[in-house]
Each structure stands twice: as C-alpha cells, then as structure tokens.
Structure 1
Amino acid sequence: MSLNHSPETHSKLIARVPTITGRELPEWFQALDNGPAFLRCEERTNWLADEHGLSHGYASAIVHEHERRRRSRLFSL
C-alpha cells in the first residue's frame, strides 16, 4: 500500500478529519466497511469522495488509514 501523501501530510489530514468532515474516523471506517466491496484503494477513495462529498485528499487519507489499521489488526492476531 503506497501513500499518496507524505507520512507527515497523512498524519495532518487524519488529525483534521473530524473537524473538516464533522465525523470521527470510526464513523468513516464503518462507512467503508458497510460500503461496496471494492478491492482497490483507489476505487474505495473515489466512492467515499463521491458518495459523501469529501475532497479526494481526505477520502484518500481515510481509506489509507482504514487499510493501515486493518492490516495492523490482522498482524497482531
């Protein structure tokens, strides 16, 4: 999984998600889990941006953070 943003930019985007979107990260993660079963991050990013009116930058950061945390959980089992 490659990031479209530098790690620093990604962290800043993630920190601002609740303020900018009005929703906390767990809510966005739930939307992704309940949304269409796209395999590619790009497809999930486009769906999130289109469906919820997010900028591509925030949608991409949310998708990548969701994937990062999901993988972290899988490896810790």
Structure 2
Amino acid sequence: MSLNHSLETQSKLIARVPDITGRALPEWFQAIDNGPSFLRCDERANWLADEHGLTHGYAAAIVHEHERHRRSRYL
C-alpha cells in the first residue's frame, strides 16, 4: 500500500490515534480483521472512515499500519 502522505506524517497520525479516536491500534486492527473482506487498502480505509466516522487521513494511516503489522507477522 502506498502512502498519500510522508512517513513522518504517518508516524504522527499513528501516535495520535488513541487520543483522537478513543481506541488503541489493536482495537482498530481487530475492527479491520472483523470487517468486510476488501482486497484493496483504499477500500478498507473508506469503509473504516464511513463505518466509524474517522477522517480519511486517520483511516488510511490505520489501514497502512495494519498492513505493515500483518506483513511482519509472516516474515
């Protein structure tokens, strides 16, 4: 998944997720895992934003981080 923002912005968004959303990253990862089976990251980000009322920036950052963690589990 390519980012529409810099790695620095990604790090800042991820650091603020718990404060902004009231949920920790593992909770968001579980929501993604339990949500619809979209093939594309942008589809998951759009669903996350629509379903949970997140801005697209935060939704995309969460999905990107989820993908990064998912891939690291298989290495």
Extract unaligned runs of 5+ from structure 1.
none
Q: Return the offset for 1:5.
A: 1.3
Is residue 56 of structure 1 aligned with residue 28 of structure 2? no
Q: What TM-score, normalized to structure 1?
A: 0.95
Q: Distance in 1 between matches of 2:33 and 2:39?
A: 12
AA partner of residue 6 (structure 2):
S
Extract unaligned runs of 5+ from structure 2.
none
Alignment of 1:25-44 (within 5 A): 25-44=25-44
Q: Distance in 1 between matches of 2:16 and 2:49?
A: 16
Q: What TM-score, normalized to structure 2?
A: 0.98
AA partner of residue 2 (structure 1):
S
Q: Distance in 2 between matches of 1:67 and 1:36?
A: 15
Counting aligned pairs with the same residue, the percent is 83
Instruction: Say how many residue pairs are matched.
Output: 75
Alignment of 1:1-77 (within 5 A): 1-75=1-75
Q: Distance in 1 between matches of 2:24 and 2:11?
A: 15
